[in-house]
């Protein structure tokens, strides 16, 4: 989740997590016989880093499990404010928001993060009225150096802001064995690192989301 000098948001629409689809900045993604799409908005985790294959990434896994077309807005390095500044997919039946990890890494001030995250939720829910909302907590490995603003603050803010939806807590997953790394392994996005989830980690994230959908 390194900082990017320019933000290139990839909006990928793909049926049931497959490879077909059109790159598209926001808009509606009604596909699959009129079924409402699964909308996922997020950073490098939602982008797929660092699953072995694209189909292993958590958005594609959840789309396949729910038999919904996928409308994905994601890019490495983005904060909640940067996501909220983009056109987001509309018409979702389920909306998943995976944001906040980069705010922790960049140490977005407390009040600003609370405002930015609420603005992001307001935007995605306005574009998909009536959709079921799932918010993910942050992905922060416990081997990172201590930070002035701890990850627990960002997670607590996410929980408060997501009061009208469900929260999938993934904050403990990075500490579990086998969820990350090893660094340098081959993935569809290039060599993996020891920070982002591997395919096992992405599968665990997908299960956490699915558990909140019932």
Say what the pLDDT of residue 15 is. Answer: 25
- The answer for residues whose C-beta is within 8 angstroms of residue 107's C-beta and 6 or more apart is 147, 148, 149
Residue with more model confidence, 209 or 26 = 209
Say what the pLDDT of residue 26 is. Answer: 36
Helix (H) or strand (E) segment spanning residue 203: helix 199-213
How large is the average pLDDT for residues 43-71? 98
Q: For residues 5 and 145, give the distance between their C-alpha atoms in angstroms, rounded to a whole number.
A: 24
What DSSP character marks residue 8? -
DSSP collapsed to 3 states, 79-123? CHHHHHCCCCEECCCEEEEECCHHHHHHCCCHHHHHHHHHHHHHH
Residue pLDDT, tens place only, 97-136: 999 999 999 999 999 999 999 999 999 999 999 999 999 9
- For the chain, the structural domain boundaries read 26-213
Say what the pLDDT of residue 35 is. Answer: 87
**CA nearest to 142, candidates 113, 171, 167:** 171
Residue with more model confidence, 75 or 17 = 75
- Can you give the length of the chain in residues? 214
Name the β-bridge partners of 89: 27
- This prediction has a pTM of 0.86
Q: For residues 61 and 42, give the distance between their C-alpha atoms in angstroms, rounded to a whole number.
A: 15
What's the CATH code, domain 26-213? 3.40.50.1110
Say what the pLDDT of residue 33 is. Answer: 58
- The answer for residues whose C-beta is within 8 angstroms of residue 145's C-beta and 6 or more apart is none
């Amino acid at each position: 989740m390194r900082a990017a000098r320019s933000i290139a948001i990839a909006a990928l629409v793909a049926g049931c997590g497959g490879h077909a689809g059109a790159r598209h900045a926001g808009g509606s993604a009604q596909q699959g016989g009129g079924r409402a799409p699964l909308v996922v908005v997020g950073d490098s985790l939602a982008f797929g880093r660092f699953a072995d294959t694209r189909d292993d990434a958590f958005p594609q896994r959840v789309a396949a499990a729910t038999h919904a077309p996928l409308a994905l807005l994601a890019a490495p390095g983005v904060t909640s404010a940067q996501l909220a500044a983009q056109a987001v997919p509309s018409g979702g039946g389920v909306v998943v928001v995976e944001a906040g990890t980069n705010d922790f890494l960049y140490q977005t001030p407390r009040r600003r993060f609370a405002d930015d995250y609420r603005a992001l939720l307001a935007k995605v829910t306005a574009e998909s009225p009536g959709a079921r909302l799932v918010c993910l907590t942050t992905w922060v490995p416990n081997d990172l150096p201590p930070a002035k603003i701890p990850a627990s603050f960002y997670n607590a803010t996410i929980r408060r802001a997501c009061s009208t939806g469900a929260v999938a807590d993934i904050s403990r997953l990075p500490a579990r064995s086998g969820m990350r790394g090893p660094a340098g392994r081959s993935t569809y996005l290039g060599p993996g690192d020891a920070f982002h989830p591997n395919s096992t980690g992405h599968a665990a994230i997908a299960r956490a989301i699915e558990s909140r959908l019932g």
